[in-house]
Structure 1
Amino acid sequence: MWFCVKCGKTTPREELIRGLCRECFLQTFGVFKHEPQIVFVMCPKCRSWLYRGEWIPSTPIAEALENVLNGELTRHLIDGAELQSVNVDHYEQVNSSTLVVKVSLGLLIDEKLLDVDKNMLIRVQYKKCPRCVAKAVGKYNYLVQIRFTGETPPDKSLKQVLMAVLNAVGHSTEISVKESHEGVDLEVDDPGLAKKIMEVLSKKYSARINASFKATRYNAHQGKWIGVTTYVARIPVFKEGDIIVYRGKIGLVKSIGEGKLVLWIPEVDAYEEVGIEEYWKGALRHAVRVEKETYVVKEVNSNNVLLEN
């Protein structure tokens, strides 16, 4: 039979922590050397949060608090205690700068498991993240320049491409759109968003994409250069009725689909489906010179037709 040395309560040996029952241990030692002062920094615009110098994309508040507490509470624990888990059961915003958070802590103290429920005060600070600050002053990290073959982009093609991009990434996404006489420029700050735009332009329109990077400053904390990555996506332009040359044969564009053309090849009187990416391989091109002559049908006799120029 084992007893708590403080209150005398009968306690199984495996539940005694430093000779004390759970209640007496918490009253005598607690779990923290001193009450933790936790500050939770959040961007008021995009709801991302700051942890150890890094801005984390927006997540549910409870999940973000768990991540911060899991990293911050360890250094406040008493000697011999290890933090095993943190769960935020409930939180309430007392005012704009204070949260009351009910947490369940899983601890290992002297190799004994101890579950503790605590109410903690967390101070909230609001600070705009670098991304939102950059957007506010018109800065961006990624520039997508959509261009077309030919001297000027056709209005219909430009609108179709722009709508396809916006539908793919979501109209609510923050993208700055600037039209020019050469095409359209998209200014974005999210690398994942820039990649998604590239995928749409490449798969749907067979765009050829070239990338370049221009450094603007060196970030000593991250150990890398910061700047603007520019993607130039050039889209081949075809329309129904265009006369083209495909693998040395004259053809006529009969219809246009996603990333493909249906051609009529008069030399063999056949239709052929061709991927637009063939343009970049040199196999598909517009006819450089087209000559037209007009004839009048004078007579039809059996399988022969008499024409007059």
Structure 2
Amino acid sequence: MSTPTDDVADQWLRFRAARNKDLAQAHGWLTLTSLQWLLDDPAALDGVPGLWSGTDTGAVLSASTADGLVLVETGQPVTGTVTATLADEESLLWVRYGGHDGGQVVVELARRGGRYAVRTRDAASPVFLAFDGVPVFDFRPELVLDARFEAYEQPVDVPVRTANPAVDGAHRTVGELAFRLPESNKDLRLQVSAEGPQTLAMAFHDATNNQSTAAWRKVTFSAPAPGTSTVTVDFNRAVNYPSAFTPYGTCPMPVGSNIIGEPVEAGEKLPQQR
């Protein structure tokens, strides 16, 4: 007969399999090979065909048939000038080129901090080709915790740094999570954001960072049922941000106060493929 602990561990194994499958998808985060900011005037980019520019009014790409660029959405060749407009923090898989099928590299258009940039997603990236799953700590049932979520009346935007020094970020705090780690005598209160209609997320630093784990991680969990404040937080499901795998991420750092002073030896470790 299975026990509740067995069931939770089995669910974690399924979570890990889905997580690795998601990271290994074509043109996902592991395929990022460059990040280049667009200038006001049309200019060539390193290793990317065409002429590119970006201003407050939008991004502009000019190319000829010989450049081999194709719009991702429609499959139409880029011949002449095309434009795109994004809100801040939005991204668009805009054009593709290269390889035997013209789709080895996908160019992502992004807007960060009011500026346009492009990132190349190359299916021949060494990080992507070498990926064999994220290393993780062994499952620890004692780090599946009951905690208390205290919602704010209104969300609060807190300025944060990001993985890219040129990009400022903001954390929309919707409440705080109160909990205590096993065998600790310290109560913790960390800020939490929303990640979907019924999902909350907590980005955090802990004492393992930059040693056995990346510089920061996050854990997501279900929001409490209506009229209650109790949630279950499973630190075995702590995951890395994309910037742990690639230097071309612009991922937000945790709020400055979201520090767990003790080691959280659960969840994902420092990736080997960076």
In the superposition, the TM-score normalised over structure 2's length comes to 0.25
Structure with greater helix percent: 1
In the superposition, the TM-score normalised over structure 1's length comes to 0.23
